Amino acid sequence: MSRRVCPRCGFRYGREALRCALDGSALEALPDPLRGRLLGQRYRVGEELGAGAMGTVYEGDDVRAGSPVAIKVPDAEALGDEVLRERFLREGRVGMALRHPHVAATLDVGCDGDTHYLVMERLYGETLAARLARGAPPIATAVSWARQLADALDALHARGVVHRDVKPSNVFLDARAEPARCVKLLDLGVARDAGDDALTASRAVLGSARTMAPEQARGERATAASDLYSLGAVLFEMLTGGPVFRGNDVALRRAHFGVAPPRARSLRGDVSDDLDELVDVLLAKSPAQRPVSAAHVRDRLDALAAEGPDEATRMAPPTERAADDLDAAVDPARVAEAHAALAAVVARWGALGPALDALTRLRASEAELRRVTLALAQLPRDAGDATRRRAELAAALADEERGALVEALRGAGVSRERLREGLDAAARDAEGLALALRRLCLPPRA
């Protein structure tokens, strides 16, 4: 599990840090003692594949079977916590007991000296989160992926297990499998037996705020219906390219139990009535109002697929709105202004700041923002609902990029005062460009 160290002062950091907070030096990776090690006299540890909150996943080789595997090793901090250690071991037990084509297979659980590990099937491809970062897939594809995910949840629920953390980063798309069998549900570490609360502290909130069911957000007990809400949130994101709600974790939790979700069809007009209704029912605030089971959801998705792509992806007829309704929609000019302001922030910090590692990421963001802003500026004035849908997606991108920018600057050691000054200056820089874009993007009023 790689860590980083400052070559000057020797202070050690986590794997995500890039520069020393004390002297600004670029951090160097420490050698990973697990690399090349043979665990259980059988599993050779290879390159790191990824890291999460509890541990690290490596590529590996089963030297007895001569086959590739993935090896998950918990961090020392997780092993030192009794609850986290038990969750890791339970992930192994649940995974070993469950064999399903849409759940990543756990092949072995072991301990070599003081190193605990899980051995899982080696998957090749990407997470759903990585795929969605490139945009929403075709609707027929989203329906197929959701159907496979519902099938995985049905298998878990049939064994009395609730996953509790269904989200895009816990869904893997296996590039080597056929499309109808490519979805794999990952990470059973937060899963629990429906009647077992031993590993959940009173009022503890577990799961991702992005896809969390309202009852989980309130600290209440998660049930199979909670997984269905999360499935609905994932399906919504596959259809629209963005999450149901946006904001920090506190704002997201409040929104999940206190704000009506938008309709998927309002953001993507070619979502059919039946599919839109299914997503809305999955996102019901009350567990009793959601579908009765994951099997029921799977069957409804099967029915949509059987009716053919024309039903699942039927283009909704254009909606005529009065000029007065424009105030309730996203104004493309405001979207363009947000992009202009963010681009100005990136440009200003690129000129002012020290050699920040964040600049590579920020400049890539700037290029993307310029592309979207240009596309907005070139939209015809009479584009109507299509203009607004595209503007809404662009606004979502602007919000995400702005948040990433601020976090990157803070992570690079920029003080709040300098950050505030830079943002204020960038807002002033953006005014002229925003006014020009407003003239290009603003829909005409009657």
pLDDT tens-digit map of 313-348: 443 333 332 223 323 334 445 555 555 555 555 555
- Name the 3-class secondary structure at 28: strand
Return the pLDDT at 301: 96
Do domains 34-121 and 125-312 share one topology? The answer is no
Mean pLDDT of all residues in 130-152: 94
What fold, for 34-121? Phosphorylase Kinase; domain 1 (3.30.200)
Return the pLDDT at 187: 83
Mean residue pLDDT across the chain: 75
Query: Which pLDDT tens digit goes with each residue over 144-185?
Result: 999 999 999 999 999 999 999 999 999 999 998 888 899 999
Active-site annotation, residues:
165
- Please name the residues in contact with 90: beta carbons below 8 A apart, sequence gap of 6 or more: 188, 189, 191, 192, 199
pLDDT(357) > 80: no
Return the pLDDT at 12: 74
- Give the integer Cα–Cα distance in Å for 248 and 250: 6
Domain limits of the chain?
A: 1-31, 34-121, 125-312, 323-441
pLDDT(26) > 90: no
The residue that leads in pLDDT, 282 or 366, is: 282
Work out whether strand 12-13 and strand 4-5 pair parallel, antiparallel, or are unpaired. Answer: antiparallel
Mean pLDDT of all residues in 415-438: 52
Output the pTM of the full model.
Answer: 0.64
Query: Which pLDDT tens digit goes with each residue over 224-278?
Result: 999 999 999 999 999 999 999 988 888 888 899 889 999 999 999 889 999 999 9
- Give the integer Cα–Cα distance in Å for 278 and 182: 23
Q: Are 191 and 156 in contact (CB under 8 A)?
A: yes
Return the pLDDT at 68: 94
Domain at 125-312: CATH architecture: Orthogonal Bundle (1.10)
pLDDT(401) > 60: no
